[in-house]
Amino acid sequence: MVVIRTCPPVWSHELASFIAGMPKAELHVHLEGSLRPGTLLDLDRRNGGRFTGLDEQWLAERFRFRDFRHFADLYSTCTDVFRGPEDFARAVTELAADLATQGVVYVEATCSAITHHRDRGIPFDEVVDGLWAGAERALRDSGVVVRFVLDHVRDLSVEDCLRTAEWCVLGRGRGVVALGIGGYEPGRPASLFAEAVRWATARGVPFVPHAGEAVGADGVRDALAFDPPRLGHGFRAADDPSVVDDLLDRGVVLELCPTSNLRTGVVADLAEHPVRRLLARGVPVVLGTDDPLLFGSTVLGEYQLAATDLGFSVRDLVAAARESLRSALVEPAVRDALVAAHDRYAADVATATPDDS
């Protein structure tokens, strides 16, 4: 048995190995923002895009964005390279393979199907066929279970959100598990799309929006009106104790992405990240990468930041990994098996800290 005694934790080789082997889920990752750099350039070349003759070093320089709006513009670049089902399948398969090396056993990848349809005319059936083919390939090749969140982009219309909601219902048999909303938050609250959200949830599709990232606690309060099981980011809830109370009462899980928060400038310094206050109140959180291509983030890197910069104890890291599996929107039998695998792993390792003894 390996015994890790550290409070606060020191990111040692022993702790890194323990976290790497621990079964966990990635619940906050955008498929388009998770492409391998080489894949982005390859798809662009094959599809007659703008990057012919350029290399990965150039790409890394280009993606040094300045602010959230600049980030959104670069994200659009990532979506532009998709043209057909095989492109989506490849992205899913490669994402699962990359995550499998970090102990990830389940992924909910967010895909902006409405953007692919509006901007490039890709039919929904082609998008979801590609996603599901990739999920089946990922399970076979990497052993990772993959499901999908179809998200509406806040800049688009209510009608577009209704179409995305319809696609979520139609896609349930091919891996779609939730409706999301992402994009630039100020002035575009979740309630603006209430008709579509309520239509989807009435038909059994959960709603997992981004909220409380670029705006304050009011963004979280607005999203909570739709009873989401999880919120993307949501850390601005810490600005209002009554909103934190609401999170706790409802059992809502927050998907925390530390590197993303720092790179987009929604937090200036991880040492002052509001998650410290949320942890103190007992709000459940999970860790995600958001857009690995744009941020250079990894799942293990986010766990390391949580330990070294955000005040997570070893016990907190284990709890976050377990919560990521427990709050997965997958079939109950699959979810229960994944949680059991985590528990077996954690039982073999004593994570003792002074306040544990």
Catalytic residues: 213
Q: How many CB atoms lie within 10 A of CB 331?
A: 12
Q: How many CB atoms lie within 10 A of CB 309?
A: 14
Enclosing H/E stretch for 320:
helix 314-326
CA distances from 54 to 41, 65, 267 (A): 8, 18, 32
290 CB burial (10 A radius; 0-12, 13-18, 19+):
buried
200 CB burial (10 A radius; 0-12, 13-18, 19+):
buried
Q: What phi and psi, each to the nearest 5 degrees, are found at residue 351?
A: -110, 75
Contacts of 91 (CB under 8 A, 6+ apart): 31, 32, 34, 35, 39, 82, 134
The whole-angstrom separation of Cα 131 and Cα 145 is: 12
* Angle (deg, nearest 10), helices 13-21 and 314-326: 10
Q: Which two tokens stand for residue 35?
A: 């492409």
CA distances from 2 to 18, 341, 345 (A): 9, 18, 11
